[in-house]
Chain A
Amino acid sequence: QQQVKQSPQSLIVQKGGISIINCAYENTAFDYFPWYQQFPGKGPALLIAIRPDVSEKKEGRFTISFNKSAKQFSLHIMDSQPGDSATYFCAASRRGGADGLTFGKGTHLIIQP
């Protein structure tokens, strides 16, 4: 039973374009939604996170959009750069975090020069 569904599985974007990755969740008890970036052979690195009391959060070129009623959230990478090429994971957790993060299956993003 996959509680966080992520799409697309892979994505190719031209340099300077906008990369968009989508996630949907099922558990209404989730109240924290981070995005992680992972390079090959490395651990996931926290990129940006949002709580359901706001609909959007922006940090530099990265924006999370959150739709509580639809139980969906997305990551937008503006002005995508070749250095952004990595695997991106959305995740969700319940208040308190005692049962950890539930991750999506990841999106392999390639930014073409």
Chain B
Amino acid sequence: DTGVSQDPRHKITKRGQNVTFRCDPISEHNRLYWYRQTLGQGPEFLTYFQNEAQLEKSRLLSDRFSAERPKGSFSTLEIQRTEQGDSAMYLCASSPIQGNTEAFFGQGTRLTVV
């Protein structure tokens, strides 16, 4: 399977704990995006990388959220001091740098904060 891969698929954590999610994009895709999707809503854009550079991060929900893409390949999204309101599906998408902005999504990580 050469699609976007996310790990873990599900994460249950206690309030106040830190969590980290991983995304492996399609190998030749330079662009990588993180989104959050809550129940009954469309995905909400969080942040964008072009290779290893994080070019847009103003839409991260709070300073508890951070993302990295250290070598321009896989990316991680970390949430510190989780709150119940952070419970959602976290989606990663990738796209090639040329041409249009066709984005391909992974299966997501379902986070539940208890």
Chain A interface residues toward B at CB < 8 A: 6, 32, 34, 36, 41-46, 49, 51, 89, 91, 93, 96-106
CB distance from A14 to the nearest CB of B (A): 25
Alpha-carbon separation in the docked complex, A14 to B108 (Å) = 31
Interface residues of B in 37-60 (CB under 8 A from A): 40-45, 48, 50, 55-56, 59
Alpha-carbon separation in the docked complex, A34 to B101 (Å) = 9
Chain B interface residues toward A at CB < 8 A: 4, 6, 31, 33, 35, 40-45, 48, 50, 55-56, 59, 91, 95, 100-108, 110
Choose among A6, A96, A97, A98 the residue that contacts B103 (Cβ–Cβ < 8 A): A97
Residue pair A101, B103 in contact (C-beta under 8 Å): yes
Residues of A within 8 A of B41 (CB): 105-106
Alpha-carbon separation in the docked complex, A45 to B91 (Å) = 12
Residue pair B107, A43 in contact (C-beta under 8 Å): yes
Pairs A–B under 8 Å by Cβ, sample size 15:
A36-B105, A42-B107, A43-B6, A43-B105, A44-B43, A44-B105, A45-B105, A49-B102, A97-B48, A97-B103, A99-B59, A101-B33, A103-B43, A105-B40, A105-B41
Residues of A within 8 A of B55 (CB): 98
B91 nearest CB neighbor, chain A only = A43
Residues of B within 8 A of A105 (CB): 40-42
B55 nearest CB neighbor, chain A only = A98
Alpha-carbon separation in the docked complex, A101 to B4 (Å) = 17
Known interface pairs A43-B91, A98-B55. Does A32 touch B100 (Cβ–Cβ under 8 Å)? yes
